[in-house]
Chain A
Amino acid sequence: MNEAWQRALFRVPELLAAHVQISVSALALAMIICLPLAIWAARSPKVATFALTVASLIQTIPGLALLALFYPLLLGVSALVGGGISAFGFLPALLALTLYALLPILRNAVTGLAGVDPAAREAADGLGMTSSQKLYYVEAPLAAPTIMAGIRTAAVWTIGASTLSTTVGQPSLGDLIFAGLQTQNWTLVLAGCLFSAALAISVDLLLGLIERGIRERRRILVGAGMATIAAGLLIATLPLMIARDNIVVIGAKGFSEQYILARLIGSRLEEAGYTVRFRDGLGSAVVYQALSEGDVDVYVEYSGTIWTNQMQRTDSQPKSAMLETIAQWTSDNHGVKMLGALGFENTYAFAVRPQDARTKSLKTLDDLARVSSDFNFGTDVEFLERPEWQMVQDAYPIRFKNARSFSPTFMYPALASGEVDVISAFSSDGRIAANGFVVLDDTKGAVPSYEAIMLLAPKRAGDDKFIRSLNPLIDAISVENMREANYTVDREDDKKTPGQAASWLNDKLRE
């Protein structure tokens, strides 16, 4: 077994435990909702039609979108009841996955109950069973195999969909997949896929055994299946039961630079005696909220993101004034402490291929506007919806032929291969220089500054040891070194892990 696999496998037990925990909870909640609903539906065709329609509608919402929707929804609910509900991590994942599991359970339960032999029902009535006795003695046992088949389908779906819960901050095997995808670490992706597939297959087989046991009325099969599942559950969740006090949670958004900086912060905190845990692949909107709620202790943000997303500002200010304003605003509004800027900027940069820059003499965004009607635009998944894109369009008459979204990993190859002609690159990304791409000047200063800044949760704002161990990172990272570190993780050959890149970066810190 090589080193990459060893590193991937090292993370598996804890993620598997969290994955099992969220899947089982969602499945259990879905069953608690569906089974009474199905009993009601079996007695009333109107309820059946309504419930099944709603469940089918939910199913048409893509899993990722459903998870994303629960985040603002829970924030709203939390605001309504005066706070205290976490929109981060377990709860939104639980709710979204539960909704997702409803349809197969409900449909099979309704079908199963409706399919009970009318003669058995008539006999039950004739014998003087009450409605609930009829359910207990006759309908439930006869519908059980069909209901069980629905639970089985739901279990497999839920285990698969749980990998998406990484995006709302609930750890799962998806952490491996998302991190691997961003850093092109295919071993990590494969490990995530293999373990979630293996989990789904084992659960499917065990539930299948129970289903067969019920169908063939062989209690021993049912018992064996249930016992194995219970044992598996216990073993899988064991890592979660080992109590750990005062764990520092370090947040990271879904790209290499964030992974590296999170590891850099983590290594320093570990040296200072803290136990750290990483929460990778968080959405921009999720992570700041999580920090202000204390679900995340520290992460690296970019000044422009706070400026436009959180503060809703559309004006531009000089760099230092902007940082001061941000520090004041986060502290006043959320108690979040801005420890300082790390010393480099990662802004949106429009990059083109060198030959296009030469032949079409492209130097600035004004030049780009001139040729934009012939250009295909490649961008990351969020840029087109961000205020910065609006600001650029307001400042320059850019109208592209069309626009396509990529994960950052695939955006650079798309430009290199000519699939797109210009991309919204990140200025600290090592792949710009590595590919020889030309970055166009924003002569009108339309895009606000994106200084990397370190933000601390309110509960860490007064933690001196914490602050002392992280202070050496302030103003210590040059954009060249950050690019180099990013590139070692992003490149195709001789890839480094974020941890290795972080330790390299640690040696290059400015005094």
Chain B
Amino acid sequence: MPVSGPSIRLQQVSRHYGTVRAVDDVSLDIAAGSLVALVGLSGSGKSTLLKMINRLIEPDSGAIFIGEEPVDSVDPHVLRRRIGYVFQNIGLFPHMTVARNIAIGLELAGEKEGRADRVSELLDLVDLPQDVASRLPDQLSGGQQQRVGVARALATRPGLMLMDEPFGALDPVTRDSLTGQYKTLHDKLGLTTIIVTHDMAEALYLADRILVMEGGQIKADASPAELLSGNVGEEAEALVAIPRAQAAHLIALDKAP
């Protein structure tokens, strides 16, 4: 499947909260079709950076481009309709059925034809049974709800997906299966995806490029393989150390008599 997602460019982007520099003069190029993980501790600025791309947060200075187009060349709501957004708290609308939740983007766009077909197609895509369509969100498990969240974000066929700790609140098994399935989806649809996570293991497994943030700046920018081989800075090393130690422990346990 050819790449349909756009490239992203950030030029000297900053955002301050009082005296705190949440994002500090970040410049960045993301290639079309890549799956980039933004990793860092709480307060490192990774969510702020992500939300400036769909203008849920406005930068104090700097410029952001999707493809060749500056994000502030259109109204925020117009921009956001072209971008899929998935976040930890999911935010399904509790008063709407699953089908209407998924189709809400189409409803906003005024697309009346073929909504039901598209919902059915999306349910298949995120591996949900068709009969959940008529249910209300609170009748679904957490994992199912986030699958609906992903389907809702994909409904209008965006090229760019922004995901803010999308699977952070799910149990490990669900989380693992969703992570794997999303990676497949990303490749299949040719998306550009930026995913924020504090879990380096998830990033290493999922992404083809990992950005490590601290204090509002990007401290490391490398592929998973490069990160694991070291020499990409102590911040990245500290984060990689955790899954590495866990893996070593598991291997040791396995080899024990």
Assess the B108–A127 pair: CB atoms within 8 A. yes
Q: Which of B78, B82, B91 contacts A120 (CB 8 A)?
A: B91
Q: Which of A121-158 contact B (CB under 8 A)?
A: 121-130, 133, 137-138, 141-142
Given the known A-B contacts A127-B105, A137-B93, A141-B95, are A122 and B87 also in contact in the complex, defined by CB atoms under 8 Å?
Answer: yes
A122 touching B91, Cβ below 8 Å: yes
Q: A126-B80, A127-B81 are in contact. List 14 more A-B contacts (CB 8 A).
A: A120-B92, A120-B94, A123-B91, A123-B152, A124-B93, A125-B56, A127-B80, A127-B108, A128-B76, A128-B105, A129-B77, A129-B108, A133-B108, A142-B93
Residues of chain B within 8 A of A142, CB atoms compared = 93-95
Instruction: Verify A122–B105 contact, CB threshold 8 A.
Output: no
A18 to chain B, nearest CB (A): 39
> Which chain B positions have C-beta within 8 A of A138?
93
Contacts of B77 in A (CB 8 A): 128-130, 133
Q: List 9 A-B contacts (CB under 8 A).
A: A120-B92, A122-B89, A123-B92, A126-B56, A127-B104, A128-B76, A128-B105, A142-B94, A142-B95
A123/B90 contact (C-beta < 8 A), A128-B108, A129-B108 known:
yes
A81 within 8 A of B: no
CA separation between A130 and B87, bound complex, in Å? 19
**Which residues of A have CB within 8 Å of B94?**
117, 120, 142
Which of A118, A119, A126, A142 has the largest number of chain B CB atoms within 10 A? A126
Does the CB pair B87–A126 fall under 8 Å? Answer: yes
Chain A contacts to B: CB under 8 angstroms: 117-130, 133, 137-138, 141-142, 217
Query: Which residues in window 46-91 of B have CB below 8 A to A?
Result: 54, 56, 76-82, 85, 87, 89-91
Q: Which residue of B lies closest to A125 (CB)?
A: B56
Partner of B79, one of A117, A122, A123, A128: A128
Q: How far is the CB of A20 from chain B (nearest CB, A)?
A: 32
Q: For the complex, what is the distance from the CA of A123 to the CA of B92, rounded to whole Å?
A: 7
Q: How large is the interface on B (under 10, 10 to 19, 20 to 34, 35 or more residues)?
A: 20 to 34
Closest to B107 in A: A137
Give min CB distance, B14 to chain A, whole Å. Answer: 22
User: Are A119 and B81 closer than 8 Å at their CB atoms?
Assistant: no
Contact of B85 among A126, A130, A141, A217 (CB under 8 A): A126
Query: B201 interface residue, CB < 8 Å from A?
Result: no
Q: Once A and B bind, how many residue pairs between them come within 8 Å at the CB atom?
A: 65
- Tell me if B136 counts as interface (CB < 8 A to partner A): yes
Give min CB distance, A376 to chain B, whole Å.
Answer: 64
Report the separation of the CA atoms of residues A142 and B91 in the bound assembly, to the nearest whole angstrom: 13
Minimum CB–CB distance from A217 to chain B (whole Å) comes to 6
State the Cβ distance, A166 to closest chain B Cβ, in Å: 43
Tell me whether B79 and A119 are in contact (CB under 8 A).
no
Main secondary structure of the interface of A (DSSP, over half): helix
Chain B window 204-241, contacts with chain A (Cβ cutoff 8 Å), 1 for yes, 0 for no: 00000000000000000000000000000000000000
CB distance from B96 to the nearest CB of A (A): 8
> What 10 pairs across the A-B complex have the smallest Cβ distances?
A123-B91, A126-B85, A128-B81, A128-B80, A119-B89, A119-B91, A128-B77, A141-B95, A130-B77, A120-B91
A122 surroundings in chain B (CB, below 8 A):
56, 87, 89, 91
Select the residue from A118, A137, A142 with max chain B CB neighbours within 10 A. A137
Restricting to B79-131, which residues have a CB under 8 Å from any CB of A? 79-82, 85, 87, 89-95, 104-105, 108
The complex places the Cα of A129 from the Cα of B75 at a distance, in Å, of 11
Tell me the complex Cα distance, A137–B101, Å.
Answer: 11
Closest residue of A by beta carbon distance from B149: A123
**Which of A117, A120, A123, A141 gathers the greatest number of chain B CB atoms within 10 Å?**
A123
Residue in contact with B104 in the complex, picked from A118, A125, A137, CB distance below 8 Å: A137
* Docked CA distance A133–B105 (Å): 12
Give Cα distance in the complex from A31 to B93, angstroms.
26
With both beta carbons as reference points, the residue of chain B lying nearest to A141 in the complex is identified as: B95
The reply to whether B90 and A119 contact each other, CB–CB distance below 8 Å, is yes
A-side contacts of B91, CB under 8 Å: 117, 119-124, 126
B109 CB to closest chain A CB, in angstroms? 9
- A126 CA to B166 CA in the complex, in Å? 14
- A215's nearest neighbour on chain B, judged by CB, is B95
Name the one of A125, A127, A129, A141 contacting B152, with C-beta atoms under 8 angstroms.
A127
> Which residues of the other chain, B, contact A141 by a CB distance below 8 angstroms?
95
Q: Point out the residue from B54, B78, B95 that lies within 8 Å of A126, measured CB to CB.
A: B54
| Residues of B close to A130: CB separation below 8 A | 77
CB pair A123–B108 under 8 Å, yes or no, is no
* Residue in B77, B89, B90 with the greatest tally of chain A CB atoms within 10 Å: B77
Q: How far is the CA of A138 from the CA of B77 in the complex (A)?
A: 15
A123 CA / B85 CA spacing, docked (Å): 8
In chain B, what residue has the closest Cβ to A144? Answer: B95
Instruction: For the complex, give the distance between the alpha carbons of A481 and B170 in Å.
Output: 90
Q: How far is the CA of A142 from the CA of B93 in the complex (A)?
A: 9
With the chains together, A141 CA to B85 CA distance in Å?
22
Write the nearest CB–CB distance from B221 to chain A, whole angstroms. Answer: 26
Shortest beta-carbon distance from B67 to chain A in Å:
18
Q: How far apart are the CA atoms of A137 and B108 in the complex, in Å?
A: 10
Query: Which residue in chain B gives the minimum CB-CB distance to A127?
Result: B105
Cβ of A363 to closest chain B Cβ, rounded Å: 80
Complex contacts, A127 vs chain B, CB 8 Å:
80-81, 85, 104-105, 108, 152
Would you give the shortest CB distance from A344 to chain B, in whole angstroms?
A: 70
Give chain B nearest CB distance to A220 CB in angstroms.
Answer: 16
B227-257 to A contact mask, C-beta < 8 Å, 1/0 = 0000000000000000000000000000000
A217 to B85, CA, bound (A): 27
With the chains together, A129 CA to B91 CA distance in Å?
Answer: 14
Find chain A residues with CB under 8 A from B152 CB: 123, 127
Given the complex, which residues of A lie within 8 Å of B78, measured CB to CB? 128
The answer to whether B80 touches A217 (Cβ under 8 A) is no
